[in-house]
Amino acid sequence: MKRDDSAHLDIQTPFTAFPNVLLDQVMPTLKDTEWRLLCVIVRQTIGWRDEAGGRRQRDWISRSQLMRRTGRNSEALSRAVDRLVARRLIVVQDEAGRVLSTARQRQRLGSKLFYALHPDGWKWSDVERGCAKTEQAFEREGDGKANTTKENDKERWDWLEEAKKIFDLRPERVAVMELDDGSVVKQFGELYLRGYRQTLAKKPPRLVLTKADIEKLEKLINERGYDHMAGLLAQFWQVQWNWVKNRDYGLETFLHCVNLLSLGSTSSPRSGLEAH
């Protein structure tokens, strides 16, 4: 009698939600250790739901845990992390949520590294660019011409759109100048734009902040007072710290160094990691 294997499938077995685009497009472009590492990060982030039913955004994963779960040594994992960060597939943060974009920053921190899927990478444009060469290799036929039919393009974009809807991990961003006229955040945004033009003598960027940053700025203004925050902003335009210059004196950068400015510090911190 032929065995019915389907009868033995347990549909209650826990499973991990996994973006199709990573399996269909990204996996062929990664080395073995990179793929193993990415799988662990997916499992530990969007593979979990919090008490409210939302997907976990990031997770602290120790190096020993990564070694155990990937079967790879520490040196190989360090290289894999560097490549995944460079490909904008993952982001590494410290406990306070500050991004550790370089290998040196991650090495200096040592422990308590938090891993997440890269929020901008889930716009998929970077994923597609990173996978372009591999896609072309798979699409080429015997005559050496690329198979770039409309059907193939539509299928690829269907994958991306489906994944983007299901796993939209991008923090929602809000245009500051489109807030209500009575908003203290909008008023502060206008003050910031005037200071930007006067100090840097160039066209300011479009002001967009995450909802979390807008709530943070509103709380700071309400707790410390508008005039106090305006004074800190005036002080902000005078700092010559390289990490502030590299971020083009952005409003988000100002929020990260409010506490430092409140201390009246004029010495440059060793890195942006100390300025939160």
* CATH of the domain spanning 16-170, picked from 1.10.3470, 1.10.10, 3.40.190, 3.40.50: 1.10.10
Distance between terminal CA atoms of the chain? 68
pLDDT tens, 197-244?
999 888 888 888 888 888 899 999 999 999 999 999 999 999 888 878
pLDDT exceeds cutoff 50 at 147 = no
Evaluate whether 261 touches 235 at the Cβ level (below 8 Å): yes
pLDDT at 192: 94
Residue 34 CA to residue 30 CA, distance in Å, equals 6
Mean pLDDT computed over every residue of the chain: 76
Provide mean pLDDT across the span 96-120.
82
pLDDT exceeds cutoff 80 at 90 = yes
Written as six digits, the tokens of 259 are 């506490």
Residue 92 CA to residue 101 CA, distance in Å, equals 7
DSSP letter at 22? I
Model confidence at 65, in pLDDT bands (50, 70, 90)? Answer: very high
Phi-psi region of 192 (alpha: psi -120 to 50; beta: other; left: phi over 0): alpha
**DSSP-assigned states of every residue in 68-107:** HHH---HHHHHHHHHHHHHTTSEEEE-TT--B--SHHHHH
DSSP letter at 207? -
Domain spans in the chain, listed from the N-terminal domain onward: 16-170, 173-274
